[in-house]
Chains A and B, each alone.
Chain A
Amino acid sequence: MMFPAGQLENPRHAGHREGVPTVVLLEEVTKRYDAGGALSVTALEDVGLEVDQGEFVVVLGPSGSGKTTLLNVIGALDAATEGQVTVAGRRLAGASRRDLFRFRRENVSFIFQSFNLFPGLTALENVRFGVDVTGRRNGGASAIARAVLEDVGLGDRLDHFPHELSGGEQQRVAIARALATGNPLILADEPTGELDFRTGVQILGLLQRQAEAGTTVLVVTHNREISRIADRVVELSSGRVVSDGPPKGGKADISDLHW
């Protein structure tokens, strides 16, 4: 059962800004996977997290720390075993599969490490997919898609298929697709994982600008350098939050990044 949206009270992180709605709230969330028989794997344990609207949050951790699982739980691709997950004012526990599909349509957009563009569609059509899936089937869908692609600097690559684009261009199309949905929350799983440094910085810049424009952005990565430009860094280890706060040494400028 999902409850209607609304401003949540009881902020739990130090950087929470007064009057800014909380978009993501995890309360004592645990995720366990049954591996068969008596074996079970705990991917997340007693995780608490609160993300405000417009925040650029980096979830940091080594491989197997549970960061992707965290993203999946927030994005309603996986259900928490215990605890409460509330996103955009909607509690996800017990929601039907159908409701979860609708929830994602209306609230969440994903960016994947390997882009996951649709190979049979051009860049414009891939982005238009983001508009079409929300149900905005009117003459404006293509115009929206075109505008978003121009925003990400691909105004001259509208008719190119994914295999005709570089890795960075493909990821920009993926970002544009996510942006075209107009959803308030973007979840990015290792968005720079398959890109070179320079391209990766460009991608991060795009995401940062979205956050500045009011979209909440959650980036999952194992690259500590990326966390330097975040508003907040949530560090996971073995499924637990080991730290949650501004980047060590303060927030850096994107031009200072090196990896």
Chain B
Amino acid sequence: MRQIWFWLRWSGRELRRRWVQVTVIALIIALGTGVQAGLGSTSDWRKRSYDESYEALRMHDLRVRLADGSFVPRGTLAGALERITHPEWVASADERLIVPTQVDASTASQAVLVPGRIVGVEPVGGSSAVDGIWVTRGRGLGRADDGAPVAVLEDHFADYYDLPSTGRIGLPGGASIGYVGTGYSPEYYMVANDALGYSLMAEANFAVLFAPLATAGLLSGRAGQINDLVIALDRGVDRDAARSEIEEALRAALPDVGVSVATREEDLVYGLMYGDLDSDQGTLNLLAMLMFVAAVFAAFNLTSRIVEAQRREIGIGMALGARRRTLALRPLLIGAEIALLGVLFGVAIGWLVGAAMKVQLETIQPLPVWETPFRLDRFVGAAALGFLLPFLATAWPVWRAVRVEPVEAIRTGHLASRGGGLAPLLKRVPLPGGSFGQIPVRNVVRAPRRTILTAIGIGAAIMALVGLLGMLDSLATTIDRGDRELLNGAPDRVMVDLAGFQPVGEGVVSIIEGSPAVGSAEPMVRVGGELRRKGVRFDVFLEVLDLQSPVWHPTLGSAVPTGDLPGIVIAQKAAEDLGVAPGDTIDVSHPVREGPFAFATTTTTMRVVGIHPNPVRSFAYLDERDAGLMGLEGVANAVQVVPAAGSSVDDVKRAMFGFPGVASVQPVSAMAQVLRDLVGSMRGIFAVIEFFALALALLVAFNAASINVDERAREHATMFAFGMRVRTLLRMTSVESLIVGLLGTLIGLGVGVAALGALLASATKESPQIGMLTRLAPATVLTALAFGALAALLAPLLTARKLRRMDISSTLRVME
């Protein structure tokens, strides 16, 4: 026991002597393990936060909906619940009136005219409501608001258009309603397009007004009526059993009304939320792994250098007859203690990452509850490696040290001098600055292994940065490419979605075409479909239009004749995923009309006649002559419009607002804007990782510089003995550090490009519908160079104090 204590004390002294370097290495390990634990916990945090958020607002367990167009008197649905076999199963139930509408939320600077929905709710507020409303700004609804013309505006929509916390919303027919706050209920934690089953862009294109039930009735002309019921069941109740009883009771109460009962899992947004849980996790895991590798590698290099400095002591010990394994104990203990310290610091860093990520996640995805607790289980795995690898870093030099002959290890002065590494290769290379100019470069090359390891340490951090920034560049380029294609020749193109299929050449289509705000218009059909080939299948939006339309048509690239089959134009990504080229055939599943309102699904073999450059594979185009395949000749459910000369997109929106038969009016550019906003919202998360990557690069550079100062103390003391100025030496060490830093940055850039490829592959796997374009912008390369240079230049300056305080005479004293 005494011996163990002896070794611990001795190793502790070494740690104390080098406390700055030890702390920095520990921080490096901590960055790697902490970031790994933090970023790796994101999907866990999301699940936990989703669970808590749904619990906080008492999301319904069951929802009763009447068929479209059906309404019953208030109290009917709640009354039916009392007649089920087990009424005690129902903890709470709220009737609602949900009606479609159109919303005019225009401001002075923008026309905001979108389809929407009025959700009439019991204005009780508080925690007893089922599907309560989480108020983000302003106030919620109270009993006193029942029947009053007030509402709460859905928050995602308000946030997207930067609307104030209170205001007025225009409704069709000249009506309007004031909103007293913004917020959302659990069904709107994400805004989804019910028809197409996705959430992208939906918040820009759909507004929800939560109004008191009586108010909703007045606005919709359905006073005293309801068409929806949300139910919260008691804990432990069998949901399916409850559903059966409720269905039976409703069939009995409303035999002539279509009624459906759905569970919360069948809610579109609920499904999207949890289905989306692991999205981005793969990419974040990869980023975390890059940081982890960088940190552990850097710690490996730096720890081994500290241990190498003890070779002479080990040699002295061997010369005195001590056993090798006994001599190995102290440096191994030092390595273990540094690694352990790193793991302990990692807990703090992991907590910090969690806190920083919480802020970002709250911004990207507002929820009532966000929890980002430190996940010990995630941390343990990273910590084990974070401990093991630096510990192994000490084992290697210790093994080397105990294998050297004692007499070699204890040589001092010129007898201990080693070779010049690669310095002899440069002796004929003239550099400005005389001997001062030569010293930094020679220092870099005379210990090539050490230089490379330090450069790689810095490079690893830069690699993570390049991967990250490269992802943003690639995303931006991909969005731009899609934008260019969608707006090609028609930057103000507007898509008018119709309520159902309308005959071309009459009715609402004619009204649109004849509107003074419309310059040119092209009716088209937009339906969902699926492309298939050899086991590969994925959903697409099929747009049937004139492929030579003067309004807009997809860029066909090298088009081929269709031959005897219908032709289809697909995206490059779609072609790659299906393994086809123009001229090949694929199977296309699409709707076919069997009656006025009845559709079936069928599959048609089509020939790929062209590849369009939009990176989103979801877009596929058929010529209007093939509309007959779907039984949709002569009809349209969308009209693409170009504003008339002198008219703007907003003018078109205003002109269409309130048209019966018009479901929505959106500029095509809005899609790209939503994607840009999404990327922009992710910048916060990326900024967190950027910060840690820069910190890592700086720590590696600093520690390398600090260890250099220790290892070259004698050389520096000699320079000072000759009267060299401290600032001159600092300049030289800065140049040396800059060379290594730039070398590391170049390594980081090179490997970063490979890392970028891996990140994009991961992102593509998570979002297969997007064909990501790989791009590393010049600004990114410059940023990486600047980061590497900055870290390298700052690091030696942080050793200035040590140099200025050097005891020159003690340092020069000869060791006997």
Whether the pair A115, B809 counts as a contact (CB closer than 8 A) is no
Give the distance in Å from the alpha carbon of A114 to the alpha carbon of B412 in the complex: 8
Partner of B446, one of A109, A119, A170, A193: A119
Give the distance in Å from the alpha carbon of A162 to the alpha carbon of B804 in the complex: 27
| Residues of chain A within 8 A of B414, CB atoms compared | 114-115, 117, 162, 167, 170, 194
Whether the pair B722, A104 counts as a contact (CB closer than 8 A) is yes
Whether the pair A121, B442 counts as a contact (CB closer than 8 A) is yes
Whether the pair B723, A103 counts as a contact (CB closer than 8 A) is yes
Give the distance in Å from the alpha carbon of A161 to the alpha carbon of B724 in the complex: 22
| Residues of chain B within 8 A of A131, CB atoms compared | 434
25 CB contacts below 8 A, A to B, read: A75-B721, A101-B720, A101-B725, A104-B721, A105-B722, A109-B722, A114-B413, A116-B714, A116-B718, A118-B439, A118-B715, A119-B420, A120-B423, A120-B439, A120-B442, A120-B445, A121-B442, A128-B434, A129-B435, A129-B436, A129-B719, A132-B434, A163-B418, A170-B414, A181-B722
Whether the pair A78, B415 counts as a contact (CB closer than 8 A) is no
| Residues of chain B within 8 A of A108, CB atoms compared | 723
Closest 5 CB pairs of A and B: A105-B723, A114-B413, A120-B442, A104-B723, A129-B435
Partner of A161, one of B424, B435, B443: B424
Beta-carbon nearest neighbor of B421 in chain A: A120
| Residues of chain A within 8 A of B722, CB atoms compared | 104-105, 109-110, 129-130, 133, 181
The contact string, 1 if C-beta is below 8 Å from chain B, for chain A 64-89, is: 00001100100101100000000000
Give the distance in Å from the alpha carbon of A120 to the alpha carbon of B419 in the complex: 9
- A30 at interface by CB-CB < 8 Å: no
Partner of B417, one of A101, A132, A162: A162
Q: A120-B438, A194-B413 are in contact. Are A72 and B809 (CB under 8 A)?
A: yes
Give the distance in Å from the alpha carbon of A170 to the alpha carbon of B417 in the complex: 11
Give the distance in Å from the alpha carbon of A5 to the alpha carbon of B412 in the complex: 39
B575 to chain A, nearest CB (A): 58
Beta-carbon nearest neighbor of B419 in chain A: A163
- B808 at interface by CB-CB < 8 Å: yes
Beta-carbon nearest neighbor of A116 in chain B: B718
- B2 at interface by CB-CB < 8 Å: no
- B598 at interface by CB-CB < 8 Å: no
- A159 at interface by CB-CB < 8 Å: yes
The contact string, 1 if C-beta is below 8 Å from chain A, for chain B 41-55, is: 000000000000000
Give the distance in Å from the alpha carbon of A255 to the alpha carbon of B420 in the complex: 36
- B427 at interface by CB-CB < 8 Å: yes
A30 to chain B, nearest CB (A): 16
Whether the pair A113, B413 counts as a contact (CB closer than 8 A) is yes
Give the distance in Å from the alpha carbon of A141 to the alpha carbon of B432 in the complex: 13
- A192 at interface by CB-CB < 8 Å: no
Whether the pair B435, A112 counts as a contact (CB closer than 8 A) is no
Task: Tell me which residues from 118 to 159 in chain A have a Cβ below 8 Å from any Cβ of chain B.
Answer: 118-122, 125-126, 128-134, 137, 141-142, 159
| Residues of chain A within 8 A of B721, CB atoms compared | 75, 77, 104, 110
| Residues of chain B within 8 A of A142, CB atoms compared | 434
B423 to chain A, nearest CB (A): 5
Beta-carbon nearest neighbor of A167 in chain B: B414
The contact string, 1 if C-beta is below 8 Å from chain A, for chain B 676-706, is: 0000000000000000000000000000000
Give the distance in Å from the alpha carbon of A77 to the alpha carbon of B806 in the complex: 11
Whether the pair B809, A78 counts as a contact (CB closer than 8 A) is yes
B231 to chain A, nearest CB (A): 80
Best-surrounded residue of B436, B718, B722, B809 (most CB of chain A within 10 A): B722
Q: A112-B718, A114-B413 are in contact. Are A101 and B723 (CB under 8 A)?
A: yes
| Residues of chain A within 8 A of B714, CB atoms compared | 116
| Residues of chain A within 8 A of B436, CB atoms compared | 129, 132
Partner of B415, one of A104, A121, A194: A194
Give the distance in Å from the alpha carbon of A68 to the alpha carbon of B809 in the complex: 9
A154 to chain B, nearest CB (A): 15
Task: List 6 other contacts, CB 8 Å, given A120-B445, A167-B415, A194-B413.
Answer: A68-B813, A72-B809, A110-B721, A117-B414, A121-B442, A142-B434
| Residues of chain A within 8 A of B415, CB atoms compared | 167, 194
- B322 at interface by CB-CB < 8 Å: no
Give the distance in Å from the alpha carbon of A119 to the alpha carbon of B446 in the complex: 8
Whether the pair B715, A114 counts as a contact (CB closer than 8 A) is no
Task: Tell me which residues from 185 to 217 in chain B have a Cβ below 8 Å from any Cβ of chain A.
Answer: none
- A198 at interface by CB-CB < 8 Å: no
Task: Tell me which residues from 368 to 423 in chain B have a Cβ below 8 Å from any Cβ of chain A.
Answer: 412-415, 417-420, 423
Give the distance in Å from the alpha carbon of A205 to the alpha carbon of B643 in the complex: 100
Whether the pair B814, A120 counts as a contact (CB closer than 8 A) is no
Chain B interface residue count, CB cutoff 8 Å, equals 37
Give the distance in Å from the alpha carbon of A103 to the alpha carbon of B813 in the complex: 21
A233 to chain B, nearest CB (A): 22
Q: A114-B814, A120-B446 are in contact. Are A102 and B723 (CB under 8 A)?
A: yes
Give the distance in Å from the alpha carbon of A118 to the alpha carbon of B716 in the complex: 9
Whether the pair B442, A115 counts as a contact (CB closer than 8 A) is no
| Residues of chain A within 8 A of B434, CB atoms compared | 128, 131-132, 137, 141-142
Give the distance in Å from the alpha carbon of A129 to the alpha carbon of B715 in the complex: 12
| Residues of chain B within 8 A of A167, CB atoms compared | 414-415
Whether the pair A77, B809 counts as a contact (CB closer than 8 A) is yes
| Residues of chain B within 8 A of A78, CB atoms compared | 809
Task: Tell me which residues from 692 to 748 in chain B have a Cβ below 8 Å from any Cβ of chain A.
Answer: 714-715, 718-726
- A106 at interface by CB-CB < 8 Å: yes
Whether the pair B439, A77 counts as a contact (CB closer than 8 A) is no
Best-surrounded residue of B446, B721, B808 (most CB of chain A within 10 A): B721
Beta-carbon nearest neighbor of A101 in chain B: B723
Give the distance in Å from the alpha carbon of A16 to the alpha carbon of B701 in the complex: 56
Partner of A121, one of B412, B438, B720, B809: B438
The contact string, 1 if C-beta is below 8 Å from chain B, for chain A 161-197, is: 1111001001000000000010000000010011000
| Residues of chain B within 8 A of A181, CB atoms compared | 722
Give the distance in Å from the alpha carbon of A150 to the alpha carbon of B726 in the complex: 31
Give the distance in Å from the alpha carbon of A161 to the alpha carbon of B418 in the complex: 11
- B812 at interface by CB-CB < 8 Å: yes
Give the distance in Å from the alpha carbon of A119 to the alpha carbon of B439 in the complex: 9
Beta-carbon nearest neighbor of B417 in chain A: A163
Whether the pair A116, B715 counts as a contact (CB closer than 8 A) is yes
| Residues of chain B within 8 A of A170, CB atoms compared | 414
| Residues of chain A within 8 A of B413, CB atoms compared | 113-115, 194
Whether the pair A113, B814 counts as a contact (CB closer than 8 A) is yes
A225 to chain B, nearest CB (A): 20
B723 to chain A, nearest CB (A): 3
Whether the pair B812, A112 counts as a contact (CB closer than 8 A) is yes
| Residues of chain A within 8 A of B725, CB atoms compared | 101
Whether the pair A77, B418 counts as a contact (CB closer than 8 A) is no
Give the distance in Å from the alpha carbon of A112 to the alpha carbon of B808 in the complex: 13
Task: Tell me which residues from 422 to 460 in chain B have a Cβ below 8 Å from any Cβ of chain A.
Answer: 423-424, 427, 434-436, 438-439, 442-443, 445-446
| Residues of chain B within 8 A of A137, CB atoms compared | 434
Partner of B435, one of A119, A126, A162: A126
Beta-carbon nearest neighbor of A113 in chain B: B814
The contact string, 1 if C-beta is below 8 Å from chain A, for chain B 787-816, is: 000000000000000001000110011100
Whether the pair A77, B812 counts as a contact (CB closer than 8 A) is yes
| Residues of chain B within 8 A of A119, CB atoms compared | 417-418, 420, 423, 446, 715
Whether the pair A121, B723 counts as a contact (CB closer than 8 A) is no
Q: A118-B715, A181-B722 are in contact. Are A125 and B438 (CB under 8 A)?
A: yes
| Residues of chain B within 8 A of A133, CB atoms compared | 719, 722-724
Give the distance in Å from the alpha carbon of A112 to the alpha carbon of B726 in the complex: 21
Beta-carbon nearest neighbor of B715 in chain A: A118
Whether the pair B719, A121 counts as a contact (CB closer than 8 A) is no
Q: A112-B718, A133-B719, A141-B434 are in contact. Are A161 and B412 (CB under 8 A)?
A: no
| Residues of chain A within 8 A of B443, CB atoms compared | 120
B422 to chain A, nearest CB (A): 10
